[in-house]
Amino acid sequence: MISVEDRLDIHELIALHGHLADAGDFDRMHQVFSDELVCDLTDFGAGEVRGLAALRDMALALGDQNPVGHHTTNVVMTSVDDDTVRVRSKGIGIRADGTTGSVVYDDVVQRMANGWRIVSRRITARRRPLTP
């Protein structure tokens, strides 16, 4: 069972990612992700990105291709054990030209000495409606 306090902490963790990403504040991404993060971007042709440094480097290489706004919603949590939670959320990305995209974030979040952190994230693009 996930406590109310843990739910609030994890929800805020998921939300913080968008604020840091949009600001390009990569020096604070350790507040969201573990150092050993595995981010599966296969759906975008980028394979797996491993570690915070690789995530930062990829975002910097994308430059103006990065969204100007990351908005996360529909956060649902499932407890795995006392220190591990699966989190599924939806993301809306706003690009500089005003177009948008929708994704699903599938995260594994673990309690660590410094708080909850995302240890793995799979991002899947929503390109078609009603795809079961």
What are the chain's domains?
4-126 (3.10.450.50)
pLDDT (tens, 9 = 90+) of the chain, 132 residues, equals 899 999 999 999 999 999 999 999 999 999 999 999 999 999 988 899 999 999 999 988 988 888 899 999 999 999 999 999 999 999 999 999 999 999 999 999 999 999 999 999 999 999 888 877
AA letter at 66: N
- Stated pTM of the model: 0.93
For residue 127, report the phi and psi dihedrals to the nearest 5 degrees: -110, -15
Which pLDDT score, from 0 to 100, does residue 64 have? 84
Burial class (CB in 10 A: 0-12, 13-18, 19+), 5: exposed
- In 3D space, the residue among 66, 89, 68 whose CA is nearest the CA of residue 77 turns out to be 89
| CA–CA gap between residue 110 and residue 98 (Å, rounded) | 35
As given in the structure block, the two tokens for residue 49 are 């990105």
